[in-house]
Amino acid sequence: MLAFNVAQLLKEGIGATRHYELSGELYDIDEQNAGPVPVEGHLDVVRIPRGLLAQGKAHLAMAATCRRCLATYEREVDLDIEEEYVATVDVVTGYRIELAEGEDEEPELLISDHHILDTREVLRQYAVAAIIDAGLCRPDCRGICPICGADLNHESCNCHLAQVDPRLAALAGLLDSTD
């Protein structure tokens, strides 16, 4: 599960904790990861004055584009999660909790009216952030030849010689013409 009923935890005192196993699927992380993308992890949730503090880890494998060769590859991603969820409804009285005076109205993570702590949007956002730095398909990715566009992981080309030294290129041209 990726969403949990925290009504009981909210009734407990500050500092009360629960451990949850994260297991489920994410959708619409980005164009390459429309989903379902399986995600696994765990979450420790602590009762704090305004709601709940969720801390944990999640792991998923996403499709990513190598920034050197532009190939699509599978990237393993570990997410370190720490988020505060604010309660919207008093779990005992059922009354809506108003924002305190002077509190900004930044969109925060809210525990639903039905006391559901839903981690999916947080996981999605962390996954988006993790995949922005797309990384390399492999540590020694050779990339694409900037001149002819050859994928140098799979083929070689002769452009490099020409690029290294224009005189050699001229010589190469000369040799070609004398063939």
Is the Cβ of residue 69 or residue 81 nearer to Zn ion in the bound state? 69
Is the Cβ of residue 5 or residue 153 nearer to Zn ion in the bound state? 153
* Least Cβ distance, residue 158 to Zn ion (angstroms): 7
* Least Cβ distance, residue 141 to Zn ion (angstroms): 3
Strands 116-118 and 72-87: unpaired
* Least Cβ distance, residue 63 to Zn ion (angstroms): 13
* Least Cβ distance, residue 132 to Zn ion (angstroms): 17
Is the Cβ of residue 2 or residue 137 nearer to Zn ion in the bound state? 137
What is the per-residue burial (b if ≥16 Cβ within 10 Å, else e) of 58-80?
bebebbbbbebbebebebebebe
Q: What 3-state DSSP class applies to 140? A: coil
* Cα separation, 169 vs 163, whole angstroms: 8
* Cα separation, 28 vs 38, whole angstroms: 12
Is the Cβ of residue 123 or residue 137 nearer to Zn ion in the bound state? 137
- Token pair recorded at residue 36: 């379902």
Is the Cβ of residue 73 or residue 112 nearer to Zn ion in the bound state? 73
* Least Cβ distance, residue 130 to Zn ion (angstroms): 18
CB atoms under 10 Å from CB of 88, counted, come to 17
Which positions touch Zn ion (CB under 5 A)? Answer: 66, 68-69, 137, 141, 145, 147-148, 150, 157, 159
Task: State phi, psi for 53 to the nearest 5 degrees.
Answer: -110, 120
